[in-house]
Amino acid sequence: MPVGFDVRKAAQVIAFLVCEQGGSASMIKTVKLAYMSDRRFLELYDRPILNDDLYCLDHGPIDSTTLDFIKGKGDANARKIWDEYLTSVDPKTHVLKTTNNNLYFSELSEAEEEVLKETSDRFKALGPFALVDYIHDHCREWVNPRGTSTFLSYADVFKALGKENPDKLVKHVEGLRKLHQATSASA
């Protein structure tokens, strides 16, 4: 898993987004909302919510490990954590559902919840592929991989957001990810 990635936090992010969509949601739209939330958090606070590795796919940028968990991948112990929050209603239609309506999002800060809610509200009226089209048109960091996947650096996202010193910001993000990894391991 990527440095600093926390499966419980990722599950809570996705469950929060699914709850914001009524408790059941399209996988594609939810994955895009997760990326757009991470992007917005980078814009506001110079750090991601998910501490995930980013990739460009045909349908836009994604948080890679989070998408793997949504698709049912991941080791058994991590899957148990994930499954406390989410289930796939129908793998063919890729609909996600929260496991219960009384979820407590203990891993999310107030600022993270605000950005997740803001992002959900902003794109509420868009269907999954309308959101994909929006991202293709408005996220300059996305490069069409033409049927493959390409790594998307945080520096490219910072540049697309118009941030000064993107390389310095990436070092800050890397330091925070390492710190989160170290503190999670000792807890």
What is the rounded average pLDDT for all residues in the chain?
Answer: 91
Sign of CA dihedral 115, 27, 18, 52: negative
Write down the pTM of the prediction: 0.93
Query: CA 145 to CA 54: how far, in whole Å?
Result: 13
Structure tokens at 129: 């592929």
**DSSP code for 68:** H
Residue 187 to residue 184: CA distance in whole angstroms: 5
Work out the average pLDDT over 45-71: 96
pLDDT band at 85 (very low <50, low <70, confident <90, very high): confident
Query: Are residues 70 and 11 in contact, defined by beta-carbon separation less than 8 angstroms?
Result: no
pLDDT in tens, 97-148: 776 666 789 999 999 999 999 999 999 999 999 999 999 999 999 999 999 9
- The amino acid at 46: D
Which H helix or E strand runs over 55? strand 54-57
